[in-house]
Chain A
Amino acid sequence: MKTRRLTELSLLTAAALIIFIVELRLPDLSAVPGVKLGLANIFTVYAVYSYRAREAAMLLVTRIALGAIFSSNFSALIYSLSGGLLCIAGMLLLKKVIPVNYLWLCSIFGAIFHNTGQMAAAVLLTRSAAVLVHYPTLIVSGCIAGAFTGLCAQYVLKRLIPVIKTDDEKTKEKKL
């Protein structure tokens, strides 16, 4: 991996981590565990559309692992990891069908996958289907939050693409 790429990814991970920790300090939106905006996922969706699959997955896993350490909430790690991995796998597949203009739609599916993964982990851990009553609430809030984070990423991407392109062209010119 090129140093430049590594630096970009580290920067994105750091920014995602900061947003994640700031969001933790905000009061809970609902008594249902897991209902939140998930602002850090702006970076996940952004990475899915602008980096390779491997790189986007690395960014997410690093952010989740470091997030658990900094928030010292390790019991949540298994839920965020199972949700996150399913989310990124689903989004990387849907990326082939959904173009950048509909990134928000892909992000909604990401949220649905994330909640599904979390629920699967919760059902396995509690060995009871009772936690499934939170599933509809999580899906509804996830769709709204997913659309929001997706739109954020979409706007960022639209403004960044020209900049990155001109940067690349400049390096090409230098090489020539």
Chain B
Amino acid sequence: MTKGVKICLAAASVIFVSALAAMLWLRLPSDSTWVEITQDGKVLYTIDLASYDDEQTQTIRIDSPDGGYNIIEIGEGNTIRISEADCPDKTCVKTGALSDGVPIVCLPHRLIIKFTDEPENGG
């Protein structure tokens, strides 16, 4: 084993371990109830999930500038998820409900749903 290989092996181990740590840290459940919906980097909605009726389901339709759409569903137990999309991969739908630091992302429509801090002026 040459010196170069040793350095590379050490670098790979460090990257792997730190990525693993970051991954687990992001999986910690979020205690915020505020959610931010952004598209193309612009904030479309900032909503408080706690202010929604627990038993009713409400949907928001978001049309992408490119012609596609996503339907966001705020449902039972104040969960938020993308229930429908016309993108080919449906990754955002498969992600399911937002529960932790990992946001729901729809790359084809550049749409992101994530937990955010409570706005200081009360929204």
Contact = CB atoms under 8 A, between A and B. Distances in A.
A174 interface: no
B91 A31 contact: yes
Contacts of B2: 97, 99
Given A28-B94, A134-B105, A136-B23, A33 B89 contact: yes
Contacts of A160: none
B26 A133 contact: yes
A7 interface: no
Given A128-B38, A136-B26, A140-B20, A99 B5 contact: yes
Interface string B78-108: 0000000001110100111000011101011
Chain A binding surface SS class: helix
**From B12, B21, B91, residue with most partner A Cβ within 10 Å:** B12
Contact of B112 (A32, A76, A128): A128
Interface of B: 1-2, 4-5, 8-9, 12, 15-16, 18-23, 26, 38, 40-41, 87-89, 91, 94-96, 101-103, 105, 107-108, 110, 112, 114
